[in-house]
Amino acid sequence: MNPEEAVKAFVELGAATLIPMHYGTFRLGFEPLHEPPQRLLAAAREHGLEQKVLVMTEGKPVVL
């Protein structure tokens, strides 16, 4: 599923937090590795959901 589809699924499921993963690990296409989370945040912003997206970074603890 692409970033835009992930946001659509998030909305349809009525979830509380969208935590993207499985990006940047290895190249799946020709886009830059940093592009998928940027597209996800842009799609979430279009739906007014940007504050519900948690893009985690390695080494930074998060409590949910």
What torsion, rounded to 10 degrees, do the Cα atoms 23, 2, 50, 55 define?
-10
Across 3-14, average pLDDT: 97
pLDDT at 43: 98
pLDDT level of residue 29 (50, 70, 90 thresholds): confident
Q: Lowest-confidence range among 7-11, 13-17, 60-64?
A: 60-64
Q: What is the average per-residue pLDDT within 28-47?
A: 92
Tokens of residue 8, six digits: 């659509």
What band does 34 get if pLDDT is binned at 50, 70 and 90? confident
Residue 25 confidence (pLDDT) above 80 = no
> What single string gives the DSSP state of each residue in 23-63?
-SSS--SSS-TTHHHHHHHHHHHHTT-GGGB----TT----
Per the structure block, which two tokens stand in for 62?
Answer: 């998060």
